[in-house]
Amino acid sequence: MMRQRLMVPALLGVLLLAACGGGQQEPETPTPTGETPPPRPGTPAAAAEAERQRVEAEARAREEQRRRAEAETRQRAEAEQRTRAAAAAEEAARAREIIAEVVLFDFDKFNIRADQQPALQRKVGVLRANTNVRLRIEGHADERGSIEYNLALGMRRANSAREYLVGFGLEPVRFETVSFGEERPVCMEKNEDCWQRNRRNEFIIISGEVGRTSP
Amino acid sequence: MLLLLVPAPLTAQEDTLRIPTGVRLGLVYRPVYQPKVAVRPFSGPGELAEVATAILRRDLEYSDRFELAEAPERLARGPVDYKPWNALGVVYLVTGGLEPTGDRTQLRITLHDVVYGTIKQSQSFTLPPLDAADFRMALHAAADEVVRWLTGQPGMAASRVAFIRRRGDGGYEVMVVDSDGEGAQVVHSSANILLSPAWSPDGRRLAYALAHASGWSIQERDLESGQVQLVSGRPGLNTTPSYAPDGRRLAFALSSGSGTEIYDYDVAQRCCLRRLTNGPRDDLSPSFSPDGKQLAFNSNRLGQPHIYLMPAEGGEPTLLSPFVYGEPGYYTSPDWAPEGTLIAFHGRSRGEFQLMVADAANAGGTVQQLTQEGASEDPSWAPDGRHVVFSGVRAGGSGLYVMDAVSGRTRPLVLGGRYLVPDWSPTLLRASALAVRGP
């Protein structure tokens, strides 16, 4: 180690002499400061230089490898995070879908039909998993009933869904009910298919964030 | 087994073919003789005389009590000679003269008994200027006075109909229109749902229901000042307001717990909410009897919506619409006539809503079905107690129609839009208010 260090000034001296004592002036090519011109091959200095370069290259390679490994780890972590985020977003979207799923009713009826119970049961899972979520339940009717009577019917429908959900142990304060009677149809044609789509409850998130689909 | 699985369509089909048990097609009153009446063009300044004659003549026609005769050109001017009118079969002749005095006009109307060749009545009325907002209403009041001279009964020309317009963009409007279909104006316009307008007995205020995202409220609007007061804005429904004849109390429906119940409230003192019904299901759409002692209302306590009566302070309800166990029935939207015991409502008959009338003095008796064309809903009586306005679908279009429950004659009031839940005002202007002051 000691030897190597001492050799460097000596080497510089030789180089300077060679530069100045040359018969002809070397063309003035700008040399980057601090960079030494390559030693003549075969000299001890050259061997040392080669050794130094080898050591440096090795260090660089190690560093490069380390960086690559780090990047890979990071990318993998990021990818995992992305996947997780995508899965969470997907789950949240699914949870919102479950909340938004309408519940349908028979003409002039407000009981929760057997075929409509699974939709409400799915909501129970979401509501249990997201305890800060509050819902507005809107009751709607088709155009065949009387305008004013349909308001009371829509209210009954909204309250039926609330009672069903509360029956699963959910707190009543998490639900607000309202009726718009036949005033806000989703379908305007005059046929049973359309009327059925209008005899519905809609569920709107009024506060809280929906994340998971189940606790 | 297969048949057992499909009972619903069979019931529905049955429902669309039959008139319900306990309902009979027909009119409320017996048709009566309609005397021939002619209106001679009023004398006076050109346009004013023309407009005044046209309004009065049409009001007499819309009263559905007379047969209106044309006034021949040769008899349009000069001293009245009864002979040619008598030859035309005219029983009563109305003549009039307009005389501008300052910014007002004096209209003298004379009613001639052509058969006896005598003057039956003659009176002067003070009219506002032709371009004034209340010019038409003043003539309507004069027309009602002529109807009273001729029949001894009240007319309904000096009145308006309040109703709801569903706009194409999802918005709503509370509107009012004169009894002859003229002068329609918007009282309240909103992106939110507006329903169930109700006139105060003094004709100065309108109460109606207004929805917002999470509920409903009932507002009362002063039609002159435009001032709006919140009457009720409790959670859930606040709907179907209806004034007591004294104008102090307002009955309406609120949702409480899982159902809807009728309450009343002192609007004069803004206090004292009182619950009137305690049904197991829903009670709504109250309508006071003329003496304020009873309420007709709508309830589904039997499973299907029916019309009931009860004391105005609450109490035991009496079923008014026909209920037959096991048969479908659907009756809603009662409106008690301004005098007497008749209650109009609509019910499903042959698959469509039709106007029906029952007598509160004869609960359980046969119900008369007034209409059978197209569909007809939400009737409201005129102050004359014989016309009803309703929301209808006819060959001529959908909109508001006026039907005379005596003659069955029906005319459109406003067409070409989605016009709903009409409420007919009380008499808004009386001839006494047009009396000539001074000598």
Task: Count how many domains chain B has.
Answer: 2
Asked if residue B210 is part of any domain, the answer here is yes
Q: CA of B169: which chain A residue's CA is closest?
A: A184
Chain centroid to Cα A38, Å, comes to 54
Asked if residue B26 is part of any domain, the answer here is no
Q: Which tens digit of pLDDT belongs to each residue from A127-164?
A: 999 999 999 999 999 999 999 999 999 999 999 999 99
pTM of the predicted model, to two decimals? 0.86
Nearest-10 crossing angle of helices A44-100, A2-21? 110
Which residues of chain B does A181 touch, with a Cβ-Cβ cutoff of 8 Å?
195
Out of A149, A163, A177, closest to residue B305 by CB:
A149
Q: Are B211 and B192 in contact (CB under 8 A)?
A: yes
Range of the domain at B75: 36-155
Pick from A161-170, B3-12, B89-98: least confident: B3-12
In the block, tokens 């700008």 appear at A30
Please check whether residue B254 touches A, CB under 8 A: no
B141 and B176 fall within a common domain: no
Which residues of chain A does B253 touch, with a Cβ-Cβ cutoff of 8 Å?
152
Q: Where are the beta strands (DSSP E) in chain A?
A: 103-104, 134-139, 175-179, 200-207
What rounded mean pLDDT belongs to chain A?
86
CATH number of residue B230's parent domain = 2.120.10.30
Instruction: Give the best residue of B218, B234, B255 to mutate against chain A (max A CB count within 10 A).
Output: B255
Cβ–Cβ gap A152/B284 under 8 Å: yes
Cβ–Cβ gap B214/A152 under 8 Å: no
B407 and B341 fall within a common domain: yes
Q: Which tens digit of pLDDT belongs to each residue from B203-260?
A: 999 999 999 999 999 999 999 999 999 999 999 999 999 999 999 999 999 997 779 9
Please check whether residue B304 touches A, CB under 8 A: yes
In the block, tokens 């009737």 appear at B379
B401 and B329 fall within a common domain: yes
Cβ–Cβ gap A148/B196 under 8 Å: yes
Q: CA of B421: which chain A residue's CA is closest?
A: A147
Q: Which of residues 163-202 of A touch B (CB under 8 A)?
A: 163, 176-181, 183-184
Which residues of chain A does B418 touch, with a Cβ-Cβ cutoff of 8 Å?
none
At residue B85, φ and ψ (nearest 5 deg) are -65, -40
- Residue among B233, B201, B231, B104 nearest B423 (CA): B201
B343 and B264 fall within a common domain: yes
List domains and CATH numbers for chain A: 92-207 (3.30.1330.60)
Predicted ipTM of the assembly: 0.91
Separation in Å, CA of B279 to nearest CA in chain A: 13
**Could you give the percent of chain B with pLDDT greater than 90?**
83
The stretch B10-20 carries a mean pLDDT of 61
